[in-house]
Structure 1
Amino acid sequence: MTWNENLARVRASVDDAVGLVRDGDWLVVPVGAGEPPALLTALSERRRSLHGVTVVQMLPLRPFGYFDPETVDHIRPVSMFLGGPSRAGAQAGWLPLIHGHFSDFPVMFARGEVRSDIVFALASPMDADGYFHLGVSADYTLAAIERARTVVLEVNPHVPRTGGPAKVHISKVSAWIEDDRPLTTLPPSETGPVQQAIAKFVEPLIHDGDTLQIGIGGIPDAVVALLKGKHDLGVHSEMIGDGLLSLIESGAVTNRRKTFMPGKMVATFALGSEKLYRFLDTCPDFELHPSDFTNDPYIASQNDNLVSLNATLQIDLLGQCGSESLGPKPYSATGGQTDFIRAANRSKGGRSIIVVPSTAKGDTISRIVPTLTPGTHVSASKNDVNYVVTEYGVAQLRGRTSNERVEALIGIAHPAFRDELRAQAKAMHLI
């Protein structure tokens, strides 16, 4: 049987494809824009006819009907990193999280530590070699496919065909449907005076020839805007978005001086504009890899001068970062923050940078605190954190004594809180 004959044999209607889900199944969905909307909409519509199904995904973006506390006995959503549709459920306690570093999730699926009975994924049309490209989400999906009983693809012509191993052969596909709605996009982040002030302190820490890991948000976007005059930057990142695309278009990114995979940009998922997705479809220098490759600290650290840029919600006076919750109330999850902090620390000439506005709630709360709010999940330990940047400056922590750390962090706190922080630090015998 030829590939095209096989393609015709497994083509299905949406209803027939969703009918492959069985009671008790664990259904795996790719991260972010890789979620297949036609399949998941149809699944939501028939959710009350199913029992004990678990949908596992990371950073969900669309509010599908199964994000419903009234139907968790039918379909229970589980998240590895919270997005808008899943955050309220996690905070209310009916939507559980699977905790772990992003680099570990493919291994968890490969070992069966997280079940994968059926996979629903977005993919490009089949190429001449019989492969569908996952295009915007490599993440943990390939590992889940290897363990799955059933693989269902939603084939969409807007999905880019990217380089790297993020593709599925027709021989592994149980069924596929066709849909042509636009991919999920991410609007630009707003950057205000605080984000721009932080960016001005970050910019001198990034040098010509550095390899970058930069995420999404107002601060990363403000930083990127200041880097367009740099030369020969490289990209080895968890995510590629419009910020990095703007650096590529400016000529600042060439990947020529990378010491690992020179000439290539590497990421595990893409999230941004339609322009970004079109660019990836025509870019021979970009490769999409699973997160146990992109985020593995040993692999990523083979890039000399690797710079990681990540944000946190709260940081204590010794440098512990609570980046995913305030107290026990979750807002995101661990993701790849520690993966890339450790990679940058291992990298020859590398720098890990944590950015955080000094205050919250209209300058009424300090984000630099004596101790993290009780119950806060520690995302990055004091032993890993290196540079911390607020709109008031830079604190470099690695190799510093506890007294020096405290003084450095108080020095970049909002001035209205410095005296109080110093008094609390003295009461705790930190200085």
Structure 2
Amino acid sequence: MLSTRISRGIRRCAYSTKSSIPIVFHPSKLPRTVTADEAVRVIGSNSNVYVHTAAACPTVLLDALARRLDDAPANSVTNVRLHHLHIEGPTPFLRHPQNIRSNSLFIGANLRDAVNRGDADATSIFLSEIPLLFRRKKLPLDIALVTISPFDQHGFASLGVSVDVALAAVESAKQVIAVVNPSMPRTHGRGLIHASNINLIVHSDTPIYEKHEAPATAGTASDREAEISARIGEHISAIIPDGACLQMGIGGIPDAVLASLVRTGQQKLGIHTELLGPGVLDLIASGQVTNDQKDFMPGKISAAFCVGTRELYDFIDDNPMFHFDESSVINDPAVIKRNDRTVSINSCIEVDLTGQIVSDSIGTRMFSGFGGQLDFARGAALSKDGLPIIALPSATAKGESRIVPFVKEGAGVVTTRAHAHFICTEYGIVDLFGRSLRERALLLTSIAHPNHRQSLEAATIKRFGRLQWQGFMPHADVPAKASGSSPETKL
């Protein structure tokens, strides 16, 4: 019947819903509207609660939950567990560590200290696997707290800037509380949620979070960081071919790569990335991004979530150029490899001389998480002519080398030495794929900060014995201007 076909079509446009979607939607059928204070009263003891990601964080509900506990007996609500990726904004729930326990699936700066002093938890997990955690009930969710766009005439709202793991959360949770916010862009893709699958709505006019890069001031540390990022960006852009499909996040290095690409003028570029940042706007405006070489979502920019400026949010709003999907799809290496010439650009904390890449902790101090680094490193490696790149400054702000003989005790290796391919610093870029451990040590020493090369050479001799270069050079497919300094020293 026609009605059956329409119903199935609606489901395919959104996601696999928990309840049937009515063919005809009446505005009177919207979920009950309540205040934030009323909404959080459904959160009881021993609840597993999902909190929406990054810029979509429903802070109005977190504030209300903290207020509820401010005014209640200490044992009124206990063992509430908040599960989330990094969230922007304040963390008022930390006022009640005996009642609420935060569990970061990727640690943000605002919870880093709490995790390391034991007032919050962290779980190491690939971004691609978090939806499975919810759907398979390994982490059974009682309530999902999300921010959505206003409803359309058919009763659909959008998860907006963060589909990532939120799609699985709203599908899996027993109850969904949604903050309807007019500043949330309505994004195309699989992030639609129907009113019939929401239990309570709260209205808020507070703009969703933005992230701006602070401008560098001449002669300051930020100016030096910008200069280093620019040099790294030039090295990376030099090996990116026409028709490449890009994955990169936000920050100084990704923005420098994007700016360098605008100058070097590569054509027919595509974008398939977990995190979409404001640095893509100039590249798109230049006409270099066509997405017509992509196999997955050809003609579209595909992403899992977005953090940036109001300009970026306005650009993605109702823009069919973009396809937002959950991280189990965007970060699936089998999906990533479908796009030829995938270039993944990620950063890290330190790299040892064998190519072990530390990204989630500084020694035993937890810093971030696994995220999608290995998902994309593996996907790019499997992509035809793909380039998995790890980029980092050669030294810390204190002058310590970030290329080290051994990783710090307790440090978390996110990308193994077997997964390491291209490593880039401001001194060059080298390809470790297929190289012996001795060769890797020499290659990495060649792009280390000059102040530390002698000690790294000594560490190489101590670990691997004496050896000569004997004409050995970085892979020929790394352009000379982007390769590391040619080591001539005999060890």
Q: Normalising by the residue count of structure 1, what TM-score does the alignment of the two structures yield?
A: 0.96
Give how far 1:193 is off: 1.4
What residue number does 2:33 align with? 11
1:290-341 CA deviation, whole Å, 9 max, x = no partner?
0000001111111111000000110000100101111110111110000000
What residue number does 2:159 align with? 134
Give the one of 49, 52, 67 matched to 1:45.
67
Return 191-200 or 17-26, whichever deviates more: 191-200
Give the one of 402, 413, 419 matched to 1:384.
419
- Structure 2: which amino acid aligns with 1:400? R
1:250-308 CA deviation, whole Å, 9 max, x = no partner?
21211122122210111000100011111111411101100000001111111111000
Residues 1:347 and 2:383 aligned together? yes
What residue number does 1:94 align with? 119
SS of the counterpart of 1:132? strand
- Structure 2: which amino acid aligns with 1:221? D
Return 286-295 or 73-82, whichever deviates more: 73-82
- Structure 2: which amino acid aligns with 1:384? H
Residues 1:27 and 2:49 aligned together? yes
Give the one of 107, 110, 127 matched to 2:132.
107
1:354-403 CA deviation, whole Å, 9 max, x = no partner?
0011111332x110001100100001000111000011111100011111
Aligned mates of 2:413, 2:452 — CA distance in 1: 23
1:218-274 CA deviation, whole Å, 9 max, x = no partner?
111111111112211101000111011221122121112212221011100010001
Give the one of 185, 189, 192 matched to 2:210.
185
Describe how 1:249-268 pairs up with structure 2 within 5 A. 249-268=285-304
Give the one of 349, 374, 398 matched to 1:338.
374
Contact 1:30–1:138, Cα closer than 8 Å, also in 2: no
What residue number does 1:65 align with? 92
- Structure 1: which amino acid aligns with 2:361? S
- Structure 1: which amino acid aligns with 2:374? T
Give the one of 446, 456, 460 matched to 1:421.
456
- Structure 2: which amino acid aligns with 1:182? P
Tell me the percent identity. 36
Aligned mates of 1:192, 1:244 — CA distance in 2: 18
Contact 1:234–1:255, Cα closer than 8 Å, also in 2: yes
Alpha-carbon spacing, 1:175–1:214, altered in 2? closer, same or farther (3 Å): same
Aligned mates of 2:159, 2:170 — CA distance in 1: 12
- Structure 2: which amino acid aligns with 1:388? I
Aligned mates of 2:198, 2:153 — CA distance in 1: 16
- Structure 2: which amino acid aligns with 1:60? I
Q: Which runs of 5+ in 1 are unaligned?
A: none
- Structure 1: which amino acid aligns with 2:411? T
Alpha-carbon spacing, 1:430–1:289, altered in 2? closer, same or farther (3 Å): farther
Give the one of 353, 358, 368 matched to 1:322.
358
CA RMSD across the alignment: 1.4
What residue number does 1:402 align with? 437
SS of the counterpart of 2:186? coil
SS of the counterpart of 2:121? coil
Aligned mates of 2:52, 2:336 — CA distance in 1: 22
Aligned mates of 2:29, 2:61 — CA distance in 1: 21
SS of the counterpart of 1:154? strand
1:44-78 CA deviation, whole Å, 9 max, x = no partner?
2113442111111111111121133xx21211111
SS of the counterpart of 1:222? helix
- Structure number with larger C-alpha Rg: 2
- Structure 1: which amino acid aligns with 2:38? D
SS of the counterpart of 1:420? helix
Contact 2:353–2:405, Cα closer than 8 Å, also in 1: yes
Aligned mates of 1:430, 1:378 — CA distance in 2: 25
Aligned mates of 1:268, 1:401 — CA distance in 2: 36
Alpha-carbon spacing, 1:216–1:430, altered in 2? closer, same or farther (3 Å): farther
1:164-221 CA deviation, whole Å, 9 max, x = no partner?
1112111110000111111100012555211111111111121111000011111111
SS of the counterpart of 2:298? coil
Give how far 1:430 is off: 6.0
Aligned mates of 1:32, 1:203 — CA distance in 2: 28
Q: Aligned pairs, how many?
A: 427
Residues 1:82 and 2:107 aligned together? yes
Contact 2:59–2:90, Cα closer than 8 Å, also in 1: no
Give how far 1:93 is off: 2.0
- Structure 2: which amino acid aligns with 1:129? H
Contact 1:67–1:86, Cα closer than 8 Å, also in 2: no
Give the one of 275, 291, 304 matched to 2:340.
304
Aligned mates of 2:203, 2:284 — CA distance in 1: 32
Describe how 1:141-220 pairs up with structure 2 within 5 A. 141-188=166-213, 192-220=226-254
1:90-137 CA deviation, whole Å, 9 max, x = no partner?
121221101100000001111111231100000001112211100011
SS of the counterpart of 1:382? coil
What residue number does 1:283 align with? 319
Residues 1:412 and 2:422 aligned together? no
Moved over 3 A (4+): none
Contact 1:47–1:75, Cα closer than 8 Å, also in 2: no
Contact 1:406–1:430, Cα closer than 8 Å, also in 2: no
Contact 1:402–1:430, Cα closer than 8 Å, also in 2: no
Aligned mates of 2:59, 2:128 — CA distance in 1: 26
Aligned mates of 2:127, 2:208 — CA distance in 1: 23
Aligned mates of 1:34, 1:163 — CA distance in 2: 16
What residue number does 2:83 align with? 56
